[in-house]
Amino acid sequence: MRVICAPDKFKQACSAQVAAAALARGVLDAAPTASVVELPLADGGEGTLDVLRSAFPDRRKVRVSGPLGNAVDAQIGFSADGRRALVESAQACGLWRLQEHERDPLKTTTTGVGEMIRAALDAGATEVAVGLGGSATSDGGAGMAKALGARFLDGTGAEIHPTGGELMKLRSLDLSRLDARLKSVKLTALCDVMTPMLGEHGASRKFVVQKGGTTRALHKLEESLALLQLAAQGAGIAAKGIEPGTGSAGGLGFGVWALLGGTLRSGASAVLELHGFARLLQGASLVLTGEGSFDAQTNEGKLIASLAPLCRAANVPLVVLAGIVEPGVEIAGVTAAFGIARFGARKQDNLDETEASLQRHAAFVTRLLAAKG
């Protein structure tokens, strides 16, 4: 029996590395002679830098602006030859950097992401991948673009500092001073979700509340992002803000694509490709994966949605172990999905027990597979 343990992180509970190790222990509890591959994964959000250490082994520390403008220490990953760089946006503007009472997407900024990209360019990188996800921001990447030379102007022509709330004043956009090196670098956004920036299923309506925003803030931010899209069109950029991936990380995908001229792709697919996952599947008996919640958002570019078609094509069972499994979620290629949280237990107790619960349920699934065999 050969089992691949390939989970994402479990937010507020454990990293992908810890989750993968717990799954592996569970498999070996049930089948001591099994061959187990521990493969912690990510979708472009926080943790991407860690799971891609082999591709980007050189880590360099930089001092950049945090989500509220305060200075924070972040890391950039570089390939061994220094030509490729990986910027994890959550290192600069991640929700994890803020206490509960500090979270307000009207006030947060992606400035630090732009500073990290500039640092990668200064180091000589010719390819820069920007992992998107887990942000505390909803500024459409305007703060990032400003750090790289873009100017955001109000109706009087005065420059504004483009946080999510301040974009309400935006009337025009000047990209003439944008860092010239962006024209020659290969810039790619690794999106944790492929949602659009604007509209009913856009960034504001789906993610503002989890970033600490209120219903009132939601409507303000939708208007702010719409003004950013109009300003971009006024600057000659053919962007509608409804393109898949533009809503990732509070519209940071829009910023990378429309303002900086980069490309958008699924972060989970990119991570799987870099790990050679299709090759690893050869001869596998089972893939165990997991994330905090298996829900409607899972099929919008999350890790499991990228794993499923690969497992289906290889005819390998894919079993999901998640904290919560919402009813009615069906993804072709997912054999089964089980919730590991104890019914009736406090949320914090379930979070604290995540590692043990993953190990226990992995053993259950392995015994079922062994019995079938």
Beta strands in 104-160 (DSSP E): 127-131, 151-153
What is the domain range of residue 23?
2-41+276-372
Q: What whole-number distance in Å separates Cα of residue 304 and Cα of residue 326?
A: 14
Residues 104 and 93: their CA atoms lie apart, in Å, by 12
Q: Are residues 135 and 89 part of one domain?
A: yes
Same domain, 206 and 260: yes
Q: Is 320 exposed, middle or buried (0-12, 13-18, 19+ CB in 10 A)?
A: buried
Instruction: List Cβ neighbours of 267 (8 Å cut-off, separation of 6 or more).
Output: 42, 43, 44, 45, 48, 131, 132, 133, 190, 191, 192, 301
Please indicate, yes or no, whether residues 29 and 127 belong to a single structural domain of this protein.
no
Show which of 223, 241, 268 is a domain's final residue: 268
Residues 22 and 166 in one domain: no
**Is the same domain home to 172 and 214?**
yes
What pLDDT is stored for residue 373 in this prediction? 60
Task: Give pTM, 2 decimals.
Answer: 0.92
pLDDT tens track for 270-279: 999 999 999 9
Q: List the one residue out of 336, 339, 346, 335 whose CA is nearest residue 325.
A: 339
**Residue 309 and residue 248 share a domain:** no
Residue ranges of the chain with per-residue pLDDT less than 50:
none
DSSP category for residue 239: -
- In terms of Cβ atoms closer than 10 Å to its own Cβ (0-12, 13-18, 19+), residue 158 is exposed
We report the CATH number of the domain holding residue 221 as 3.90.1510.10
Planar angle of CA 2, 304, 193, nearest 5 degrees: 150
CATH number, residue 319: 3.40.50.10350
Pick from 229, 250, 268: which residue ends a domain? 268
pLDDT in tens, 91-114: 999 999 999 999 999 999 999 999
Question: Does 149 share its domain with 248?
Answer: yes
Nearest Cα to Cα of residue 298 among 209, 190, 193, 210? 193
Are residues 238 and 138 part of one domain?
yes
Could you give the number of structural domains in the chain?
Answer: 2
